[in-house]
């Protein structure tokens, strides 16, 4: 999370690993919306953040899945 000029919108980069049964694009869109909603709720008077989400991998079958956080 950065704010390049100190006064403009935040730039947030999120990296996620997707479940193979969920589409990577759907996962990225949902993560982006969640981060935008949360930051807007926390900082309602600030300019909307610029959020970039990258799906960096897919959890394969038989691999241990990361713990889910909500």
At 42-53, the pLDDT tens digits run: 889 988 888 999
What is the reported pLDDT for 31? 93
What is the reported pLDDT for 51? 92
Which one, of 69, 55, 59, 62, lies nearest residue 13 by Cα?
Answer: 55
Taking the C-alpha atoms of residue 63 and residue 24, their distance in angstroms, rounded to an integer, is 18
Q: How far is CA 33 from CA 7, 11, 38, 62, 63, in A?
A: 22, 14, 8, 29, 27
Q: What is the pTM of this model?
A: 0.71
- Tokens at 70, concatenated: 């909500």
Per-residue pLDDT of 12-28, as tens digits, reads 999 999 888 888 889 99
């Amino acid at each position: 999370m950065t704010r390049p000029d100190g006064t403009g919108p935040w730039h947030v980069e999120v990296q996620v690993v997707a479940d193979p049964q969920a589409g990577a694009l759907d996962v990225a869109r949902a993560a982006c919306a969640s981060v935008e909603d949360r930051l807007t709720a926390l900082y309602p008077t600030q300019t909307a953040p610029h959020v970039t989400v990258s799906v960096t991998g897919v959890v394969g079958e038989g691999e241990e899945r990361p713990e889910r956080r909500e």
